[in-house]
Amino acid sequence: MNPLVAALIVFAVLMFLGMPIVFVMAFSSLSYCIAAGKLMFLMVVIEKMFRGMDSFVLLAIPMFIMCGEVMNRGGITRAIVRFSDLLIGRVRGGLAYVNTLASTFFAGITGSALSDIASLGSILIPSMEEQGFDKDFSCAVTAATAIQGPLIPPSIPAVLVASATGLSTGALFWGGAVPGVLIGLGAAAVIFVKGRFRAFPKRTEKIPLKEAVRVIVSSLLPLMTVVIILIGMNSGIFTPTEAAAVALAYALLITTLLYNRISLKEFYGMCQNVLIQTAVIYLIIAGATTFSYVLAIENVPARLSALLGAFSHSTALVLLLINVILLVWGMFMDTAPSILVLVPILYPVAAVAGINPVHFGVIVVTNLMIGMLTPPFGMALYTTQSVGKCAMVNLIREVLPFLIVDLVILVCISVFPELVLGLPRMFGFI
């Protein structure tokens, strides 16, 4: 049997058996070495694993995760929710819009969809239920709006794309800003339309002026995090990795001075959570690097480039094929391994077709965020189900209108590249 075919069979079988993706890729690479009779490759594979993890850009990931942990444990998440409620809570369906707006704000702090669901969902889903919203709809809004997180800067998937391609992290950060906001606006449009057919509740009581001022003051400092990150990078004061460190230091400072003090025991627990999440990501990077090496040995990227090269005369057709590949792949695999396996293969194809690299990178992240909402392995769906305790079938039904709008937005950013490239060009990254 062809070694590559053997490796792909092992990959498919282990994945559908539910084995963690890191071991799926590692055992697939091992099976290739055995089938090819190239056990000496094992030493090279180990070296590739460590080389894949040895990247300065990747140091930003644990710091952005820790920043989110600090803000969530320190009470900043609740401050953002209160601020969003102050702005838009009194319109009909107000808490659904609050969920959307809070996700937009929270996205500018953590860059993680699952962190958004875990932190905001635990607060807003029960609150929406208490106000009279249906549980399934409350969960659907939480899942659908959370995918803004990895698009609005800062963005952990954008860091992975930058690591895999060598692109500017700052350019990818700014490139995802408009698509991320469009997803939030699209979710708001779905809520508005649904509100015309359902009797959505709204908050009737006014917030006293004194309380409103206190909410605004307590929320502005956390929201300055994203401003510090972006201004610092644009002015050249620090790199994206250094920006993550500055954001973490700032989060610790304002949490300690203005919000709930984090005890030593809590801080130790937060560090444990961050180490576990970071270790998982780094192990996925190591596994994906080895699997990508196997694909490179078999010239899979070159073969795919040659196959799609027949369509290189039409940028639109190549974009369509890339979108289809990413959407289908995203239905079955999580974001990090998808980026690390597919981007090295598709990036040269996009370059040959004349697709701007930053445009390509943002399209990758957008597709994979949509994949988080699609069965059978949409991680946003499973996380929301766990947080909100809702039935998966009902959740998928409620998410479907949001998913359709997200696909329309994907078409728009594919057809109109300036939606992605406008801000990076404005700030001198392109």
pLDDT, tens digit (0-9, with 9 covering 90-100), for 148-181? 878 888 788 888 898 888 888 889 989 999 999 9
Query: Beta-carbon neighbour count of residue 414 at 10 Å?
Result: 21
pLDDT at 110: 66
**202 and 243 housed in the same domain:** yes
Check whether 293 has a pLDDT greater than 70.
Answer: yes
The pTM (predicted TM-score) of the whole model is 0.80
Q: 29 lies in which domain range?
A: 1-39
Residue 45 lies in a domain: no
In a domain, 51, yes or no: no
Residue 9 binned pLDDT confidence (cut-offs 50, 70, 90): confident
Same domain, yes or no: 1 and 136: no
Same domain, 191 and 301: yes
In this structure, the answer to whether residues 104 and 12 fall within a common structural domain is no
How far is 111 from 128, CA to CA, in rounded Å?
24
Does residue 418 carry a pLDDT above 90?
yes
Average pLDDT, the chain: 82
For residue 49, being part of any structural domain is answered with: no
Do 105 and 13 reside in the same domain of the chain? Answer: no
Q: How confident is the model at residue 282 (pLDDT cuts 50, 70, 90)?
A: confident
Confirm whether 237 is domain-assigned: yes
47 lies in some domain: no
User: What is the rounded average pLDDT of the residues 316-334?
Assistant: 85
- 23 and 116 inside one domain: no
For the chain, the domain total comes to 2
Same domain, 109 and 29: no
111 pLDDT tier (thresholds 50, 70, 90): low
Could you tell me if 9 and 60 lie in one domain? no
Asked if 33 and 6 sit in the same domain, the reply is yes
Q: Is the same domain home to 20 and 73?
A: no
What does the radius of gyration of the chain's CA atoms come to, in whole angstroms? 22
Domain assignment of residue 302, yes or no: yes
Whether 382 and 242 map to the same domain: the answer is yes
pLDDT for 399: 93
User: Domain check: are 62 and 162 in the same one?
Assistant: yes
Residue 414's pLDDT band (boundaries 50, 70, 90)?
A: very high
pLDDT of 404 higher than 90: yes
- Say if 24 falls within a structural domain: yes
